[in-house]
Amino acid sequence: MDNDVYGHINNVVYYSWFDTAVNAHLIENGALDIYQGKVIGLVVETHCNYFSSLSFPQIIEAGIRVAKIGASSVRYEIGLFAKDENLSAANGHFVHVYVNRDDRKPVSQLPIALKQVLEKLK
């Protein structure tokens, strides 16, 4: 998404990047099937702190970690970096509650494949 009228990427785009970074990692590692999986993650909480501007056409890199794993929820923490920068331009978190796709009720426990991928991010 291109720069806004102030010459940088608008703050709402950062949340999209958080979601993309986490979901891409889960999909690539076989822990999430967004089309046919019986369990999906819904975002119930999100937060972001901004430290420096990012703007198009910079290349943005994301780092993710898992801060907490609950029975049906996970708190992810994300850092967004301009390529080759050591300090993050923004840090944030969001919490996914994992629910059954059909009835949207929280699962009693996270799927084993998901937990295995999450443990590697702690």
Tell whether omega for the bond before 111 is within 30 degrees of 0, i.e. cis: no
Cβ neighbors of 121 (< 8 A, separation 6 or more) are 25, 64, 65, 66, 76
pLDDT at 6: 86
**Which CATH class, in words, describes the domain spanning 11-119?**
alpha beta
pLDDT tens per residue across span 41-81: 999 999 999 999 999 999 999 999 999 999 999 999 999 99
pLDDT tens per residue across span 93-108: 999 999 999 999 999 9
What global pTM score does this model have? 0.91
**Which amino acid, residue 7?**
G
